[in-house]
Amino acid sequence: MELGLKEWIVIFTAGVFLLLFLLATESITNQEELDVKRLTGQSTQNIQKVTISSMNLQLKLDSEEEKMYLNSELSFERKNTEAIISGINGNMVLGGKFVKTLVVSCVSADISGKSNLENLTILSTNVNFNNLIIQEGGNLKISAASVQGNIHIDDNIKRELYIEISSASNNLTVFVSNSVKDKVKFSGSMPKVVDK
């Protein structure tokens, strides 16, 4: 069978795409090592938004820390006041003293620590909250096929906290004291709410 012009164009385009992909992957890997070395211990003082894209992510939030720490599988790019972090398997500690917004997009996420973020958005197939403590009001949006774990609301939040959950399987428990229960608003798939 003879190949026509259309078939040759498709084969050529696919070959060029594959070549560019392989070159880009090598470039990203080399750049990642440099960025991680440069970022370890770097202040987040001028970063207001962090966007993380990863297949699997283990993330610890630290509301009092001024720095972010990434493992070598995560790459970093900065655009003005936004940090864009991506990789296949990520382990990260995010100092949130200055960061206001965090967007996490991944297949599987395990999130722990203490958060004072104004906006936390999680887009995931599976997300587990490993005793996340929310210290201040704001917006928590979760869109996941499955969400589980425990979230604790600090007794001293001053602003309202809006928790919006879109999930087919919701096994999330939110612990909140009566003193701040009126400041916590839920929409979407309702988690189990427990008095603490």
Q: Share the mean pLDDT of the chain.
A: 83
Residue (of 152, 196, 155) closest to 163 by Cα position? 152
Confidence of residue 66 (pLDDT cuts 50, 70, 90): confident
Q: What is the pLDDT of residue 32?
A: 37
Question: Running DSSP on this structure, what letter comes out for residue 159?
Answer: S
Q: What is the pLDDT of residue 3?
A: 56
pLDDT over 50 (residue 160): yes
Mean of the pLDDT values across residues 22-31?
36
> How does pLDDT run across 120-153, given as a tens digit for each residue?
999 999 999 999 999 999 999 999 999 999 999 9
Q: What is the pLDDT of residue 41?
A: 54
Q: What is the pLDDT of residue 18?
A: 43
Q: Please compute, for residue 103, the number of CA atoms within 13 A of its CA located in the half-sphere on the CB side.
A: 8
Length of the chain in terms of residues written = 196
Confidence of residue 6 (pLDDT cuts 50, 70, 90): low
SS3 48: coil
Confidence of residue 162 (pLDDT cuts 50, 70, 90): very high
Q: What is the pLDDT of residue 148?
A: 97
Burial 116-152 (b: 16+ CB within 10 A, else e): bbbebbbbbebbbbeebbbbbbbbbbbbbebbbbbbb
